[in-house]
Structure 1
Amino acid sequence: MKYTTSADRLVVVNPATGAEFGSAPIMSAEEVAELAARGRVAQRKWEALGFDGRAVVLRRMQSWLADHANELIDVVQQETGRIFEDTALEIGYPLAALGFWADHAGKYLRDKRIPATSPLLLGKRLRSRYLPHGLVGVIAPWNFPITIGFGDSIPALAAGNAVILKPSEITPLSIEIVRRGLLECGMPPDVFQVATGAGPTGAALVDVADMIMFTGSTATGRKIGVRAAERLIPCSLELGGKDPMIVLADANIERAVNLTVYGAMVNSGQVCLSTERVYVEAPVYDEFVAKIVEKVSALRQGAPVAPGAVDVGAIISPAQIDIIDSQVKDAVAKGATVLTGGEQLTGVPGRFYRPTVLVDVDHTMSCMIDETFGPLIPIMKVDSAEQAIALANDCRYGLAATIVTRDRAKGAALARKIEAGSVSVNDIVTHCFALDLPMGGVKTSGIGTRHSEDGIRKFCKKQAILVGRSFPNRDLHMYPTNPKVSPILLKSLQALYGTAGKLANLGPRALLASRKVPEPAEEH
């Protein structure tokens, strides 16, 4: 990222060409606070529209986004240096999400009647409800400014919140097109606002929002989590990943290779769900490696001048190239072998790192334990599925993983043993589009999930309402205490919950079963 000398604007540079093509303001903490004040006022009107009213705006936006996709794709490509096909997929996510949350927000958030299960609650009516937090701050990364930045905003908006989105300082321009579209589709002004800037702007947003949704590095996520805890506001964090792929001996090798190459090279490997390390059972290792090298060596790399022109685009920044190159050099110094790639592409104006395949790797090497975010495939031979699972779990991250096997039942059973929030069998990256399925990380890959019920309920506070339907002057447990009544209260509780009370309602078989300690359930 580059800044002007006056330090009041962000200058955006196309990583594939090195050309400057736009700028955005660097907002101060005072300006962010002003956005927050306006957002809180606008949020009340937006919430008052109800689920159906908000859904109308979201569905309009779905059509608007489809109609303006070419304009948005062009700006995203300029910001990221990404190929056309990867960018088209990024637009596909919010198109699906706008319809999904328009249809499902009310289903997940409407008031719910809760049955009373305790005799102590006879005559009481119980309800739970979800209320929007109010002002949600979304802090988005550079690798998917629309899929993640706007994608995380959609359920927050559908729940009735106002949103301030802080895009990455590297990709601050494309989201302005989205903001314009929402206004044209009837969203009240100031319900969705954009705060452009660098780290201090994001910190200012954490200080004024009622809830924070952050996607980015684990280091920054820790800082946001600490500040959110100090303010006693909720946060949801999707952080780093080092996603493993396990290729079993019975796998369809051609599919396994295609999954690996796409999973590692999509968006030049700059995806949180990228395949960043591969474990292959020995009987198919040589065949797998040979096919990987053949396909990776044939990938076309360069500036994406037209759809279908290249396969792999640019690396976002010099700092990211340094990370990739240092991991490759560390691996080679410790005994790894580069089969293809292994260096920065030179003689071109943009920033590119050649798609790279490493073998003879192990867990002493940074490329197998630290997040890469680049077009790098380190491959390790294993003796068994059990060894592969142990190595996959030997990592501080736990975002996603993939298993490739013809035996779907075996694949599903092994998936349950992997310490990751999302596991795919014979598939890759598709979790992003499974909006009915929770998606999140474990370990240092974050807290909270996207999608499904939890993906919108996290943007709400929960309220419980209990209504008494009868009105005696005084309940038995109220003051003044009574020496005759108080023992009756205790005896009633003992009768309800003690052994004698429970066994009185059991038949002979149930009585015998109640005395046995249950065996642990088998895994399926």
Structure 2
Amino acid sequence: MDAKALEIGVDGKQKPDSKEGMGDPQALFIDGSYCSSLDGATFSVTNPMTGKHLYECASASTDDYARAIQCASIAFNSWSRSSPSSRRLIFLKAADILEAYLDGDAPAILSAEVSATTSWVRVNILATVGILRETAGLVTHIKGEIVPADRPGTTILIEREPLGVVFAISPWNAPVNLTARAVATPLICGNTVILKPSEFSPKSQHLLVRALHAAGLPPGCLNFLPVSPSQTPVVTEYAVKHPSIRHVNFTGSDRVGRIIAGWAATCLKRCVLELGGKAPVIVLEDANLEDAVEAVIFGALANAGQICMSTERVLLHSSIAKSFKNILLRRIEGIKVGNHEEDSTVSMSGLFCPASADRVQTLLNEAIKSGAKLLYGDTSVSGPNSTIMGPHIIDGITPDMEIFHKESFGPLICLCSFETDEEAIGLANGTDFSLCAAVFSQDIMRALEVARRVKAGSCHINGPTVYIEATLPNGGVGGSSGYGRFGGIAGVYEFTEPKIISLGKSGMKYSF
């Protein structure tokens, strides 16, 4: 596997050999060049919908990471001193290139790797285009300040400077979008990046690398190193603890996030961790029920519920619970579920692996055994690889059920009732997750009061839990949702550090 293993034209488009554009192997990308791993190791990437082999991907070793980190450290010396305008232009050009991928091989790649429906492909690409353009605008907002000094003849500057080499780990579920979030702000702030993509979606995540490379990002600034599942723990620990890695950002499960945080703590290294969610939607008795149902269906079922911000619990005031359920049942019948590879018009397709479907089924069955009622769905799966699971509505969940606390990451709408605002807030805050939430009410000030008391990094009034913009400081408020912030100026603060520079006039005298 050499530089020609992934041929890229001047327009940044990969030239596929196969119908899907998936037949070529995926190489590592280190210091601006494509290469195989030093030990020649590879791993297989499969189609989760069919279980069929897609291609072989190079698997980076610790030696490959060592080389990439060294190259990134060298590149940092020049990239960190590059002009704001030059960085901005690269990002804006990359956005245009990436957008053009919608008419190229991006739909086939995302469809094959992560069972992305037509709409989910567009969301991934267009949201990423937005991230690149918004982040490009941040480059002139990396500002310091001048503060007064008590010492005569002294001026104090506080500048924000880049950290150095950042280690970024991004997941498969929104592979292009979340990869951009992991690398864009670090890069625009002048850092260089080592990117570890998910083993499920290397080519999907590589789309961003292709676009930035084609836009002129200098060698060594962004290095792409997939790793096989068996080697991931060893290689990831090595990278997290490497002395030249100054910062780690990770988006994924709380289980893995805790491990990474533990490794980072041993060397006192900063992290941004955006982990799981168990997002509640509180529907008060004066809510517009049609609007609430629409937001719940979108929030719970977009990408088959495989989003960290997915609506996981719907808390209904008892006076409107019956009406809400009737509207919900009518609306959910119109959702088209199926194999997206056979029918491009389906709204929901397969989960990312059979084990995921099994886990969701187990949560459902255990809740039903504990007294919850299945209002819609039959807990079955279908499809060539047993990954297609339709939407399910389950009523009467309680805090003593596992489904109330454990992230499902599947197409579930879980309902329970409350009598008072205090009870609703208590139920909403009754898990260890704290990523996002929503409140529905036509009394905005009442909804605002409830939203302020819900433990969440974001709480949306009269809107779905699945909502974020590139300029917003996205993240949880501790616990199983992690800590730190991506997005906007908050992201700038995460990926730079303040440096004090004092300017003293000559001839000053000191005594002790």
What TM-score does the superposition give when structure 2 sets the normalisation length? 0.87
Contact 1:328 1:342 in 2 (8 A): no
Counterpart of 2:52 in structure 1 is: 19
Q: Please say if 1:291 is aligned against 2:327.
A: yes
- Counterpart amino acid of residue 142 in structure 1: W
- In 2, the alpha carbon distance for the partners of 1:40 and 1:29 equals 16
Following superposition, the deviation at residue 452 of structure 1 comes to 2.2
Aligned equivalents of 1:275, 1:7: Cα separation in 2: 43
Which residue, 192, 216, 223 being the options, matches 2:222? 192
Aligned to 1:497: none
Q: Which residue identity does 2:382 align to in structure 1?
A: T
**Aligned residue among 431, 435, 439 for 2:474:** 439
Residues 23 and 173, structure 1, Cα contact 8 Å, conserved in 2: no
Task: Tell me what 2:366 maps to.
Answer: 330
Distance 2:440 2:108 in 1: 35
- Aligned CA distance change for structure 1 residues 130 and 73 (closer, same or farther; 3 Å): farther
Secondary structure of the equivalent of 1:361? coil
Runs of 4+ in 1 over 6 A off after TM superposition: none
Give the root-mean-square deviation of aligned CA atoms: 1.9
What do the CA deviations read for 1:450-477 (whole angstroms, capped 9, x no partner)? Answer: 1121212211222111222463333xxx
Q: Following the alignment from structure 1 to structure 2, what is the Cα–Cα distance between the partners of residues 7 and 398?
A: 42
Given the alignment of the two structures, is residue 105 of structure 1 paired with residue 127 of structure 2, yes or no?
Answer: no
CA distance, structure 1, for counterparts of residue 72 and residue 376 of structure 2: 51
Give the deviation of 1:184 after TM superposition. Answer: 1.5
Equivalent residue, structure 1, for 2:184 = 154
Contact 1:263-1:428 at 8 Å conserved across structures? yes
The structure that is helix-richer by fraction is 1
Q: Deviations over 1:250-275 (max 9, x none)?
A: 11101100100110000100000000
Identify which of 317, 338, 345 aligns with 1:309.
345
Shift in Å, 1:150: 2.1
Task: Give the AA of the match of 2:397.
Answer: V
Contact 1:342 1:355 in 2 (8 A): no
Cα deviation code 1:15-66 (max 9, x no counterpart): 2233322231121111111111111112222222122211111111111111
Matched residue, 1:126: 156
**How many aligned positions are there?**
466
Aligned partner of 2:412 among 376, 401, 412: 376
Question: CA 1:250/1:32 → structure 2, altered by over 3 Å: closer, same or farther?
Answer: same
- Structure 1 length as normaliser, TM-score? 0.85
Distance between the aligned counterparts of 2:315 and 2:338, measured in 1? 29
How far off its partner does 1:111 sit?
Answer: 3.3
**1:490 is matched with which residue?**
none
Cα offset, 1:359, TM superposition: 0.6
Cα gap change, 1:288 to 1:395, in 2 (>3 Å): same
CA distance in 1, matches of 2:314, 2:297: 11
Residue 204 (structure 1) aligned with residue 234 (structure 2): no
Pairwise CA distance, 1:97: 1.4
Deviation at 1:396, TM superposition (A): 0.8
Partners of 1:74 and 1:439 in 2: how far apart? 29
2:311–2:465 CA contact under 8 A, matched in 1:
no
| Aligned-partner Cα distance in 2 for 1:308–1:121 | 70
Aligned to 1:502: none
Q: Work out whether residues 309 and 466 of structure 2, in 8 Å CA contact, stay in contact via their aligned partners in 1.
A: no
* Counterpart in the other structure of 1:76: 110
1:145 equivalent to 2:180? Answer no
The answer on whether the counterparts of 2:132 and 2:180 sit within 8 Å (CA) in structure 1 is: no
Task: Report the Cα distance in structure 2 between the residues aligned to 1:14 and 1:327, rounded to whole angstroms.
Answer: 25
Residue matched to 1:114: 147
- Alignment identity in percent? 28
Provide the C-alpha distance between the structure 2 equivalents of 1:90 and 1:229, rounded to a whole number of angstroms.
33
Paired residue for 2:318, among 282, 300, 313?
A: 282
**1:178 corresponds to which residue?**
208
Partner of 1:68, secondary structure, is helix
Pair member with larger Rg: 1
Q: How far apart are 1:303 and its partner, in Å? A: 1.8
**1:58 and 2:88 equivalent?**
no
1:320-373: CA deviation from partner (whole Å, max 9, x where unpaired): 112211110110110111111141323544511221000122111111111110
- For the 8 Å contact 1:84–1:307, the answer to whether it is kept is no
CA gap of 1:431–1:298, structure 2 versus 1, over 3 A, is closer
Are the equivalent residues in 1 in contact too, given 2:354–2:386 (CA < 8 A)?
no
Instruction: Name the amino acid aligned to 1:463.
Output: K
Unpaired segments ≥5 residues, structure 2: 1-38
The yes-or-no answer on 1:355 pairing with 2:391 is yes
Aligned residues of 1:403 and 1:424 also touching (Cα < 8 A): yes
Cα 1:102–1:331 change in 2 (3 A) is same
